[in-house]
Amino acid sequence: MNRVAVVTGGTRGIGRAICERLKSDGFNVVANYAGNDEAAKKCSEELGISTYKWDVGDHEATLAGCQQIHDEIGPVEVVVNNAGITRDGTLHKMSFEDWNEVMRINLGGCFNMAKACFPGMRERGWGRIVNIGSINGQAGQYGQVNYAAAKSGIHGFTKALAQEGAKFGVTVNAIAPGYIDTDMVAAVPQGVLEKIIAKIPVGRLGQAEEIARGVSFLCAEDAGFVTGSTMSINGGQHMY
């Protein structure tokens, strides 16, 4: 039977490309999403995968959602923590809510998914967790103390959990995407985005499929010796 892979925020952008790639790799892919029913329906129909709706920042909802997937589809063997939001603004304009929502969803979501799925992986002796961090968690970014802190946290979370999973056959890795051609990046003011693209040595935004390729590598059967690593996929913008 094909291994079940859950991709959070999997119905749009990078997450959707990850779902498509993992499906073509032979996984039984399930996409989680939080809000956009229309995009979820389209994704489900076009990719032929199941979608489950809940907020990954909500601990109880995440435990319940993953239990439902376990009961209806099978034990979750791969988790891709991709769900994330931005609430950009300089610190002096940032509200506590902007800070807290980004921490709750982007970083809290990783903890919640791991709490739901890591124990089963540990018991079965096999698992793959891939956390989507960011170049802005590595290098920082003007106007993103919340997002940079959460993404940086994801990189620390990855290294700590990798140590706990290692002797149980559970690998935990991160990918740090640069600026990728998605709705999230399209929301950056045009003038600001142009200046950012000018600093990318490859000379363009990345494509979601280029991140999915990295996830595919990390989830493979023969990737068991790769754990605790961060794969930067950023067109050379930050070499770390």
Site of interaction with ligand CAA (CB under 6 A) = 86, 88-90, 134-136, 141-144, 147, 177, 179, 184-185, 188-189, 192
- Least distance (Å) between residue 189 CB and ligand CAA: 5
* Of 27 and 147, CB closest to ligand CAA: 147
Which contacts of 121-127 are long-range, i.e. CB under 8 A and separated by 24 or more positions?
A: 121/76, 121/77, 121/165, 121/168, 121/169, 121/170, 122/165, 122/168, 122/170, 124/75, 124/77, 125/168, 125/169, 126/77, 126/169, 126/170, 127/77, 127/78, 127/79, 127/165, 127/168, 127/169, 127/170, 127/171
Cα 83 from chain centroid (whole Å): 5
- Least distance (Å) between residue 161 CB and ligand CAA: 21
Q: Measured between alpha carbons, how far is 198 from 177 in angstroms, rounded to an integer?
A: 17
- Token digits of residue 135: 């170049």
* Of 93 and 167, CB closest to ligand CAA: 93
* Of 73 and 184, CB closest to ligand CAA: 184
- Least distance (Å) between residue 151 CB and ligand CAA: 7
* Of 52 and 147, CB closest to ligand CAA: 147
Give the residue closest to ligand CAA by C-beta: 143
Q: Measured between alpha carbons, how far is 208 from 15 in angstroms, rounded to an integer?
A: 8
Q: Which residues are catalytic?
A: 147
- Least distance (Å) between residue 148 CB and ligand CAA: 9
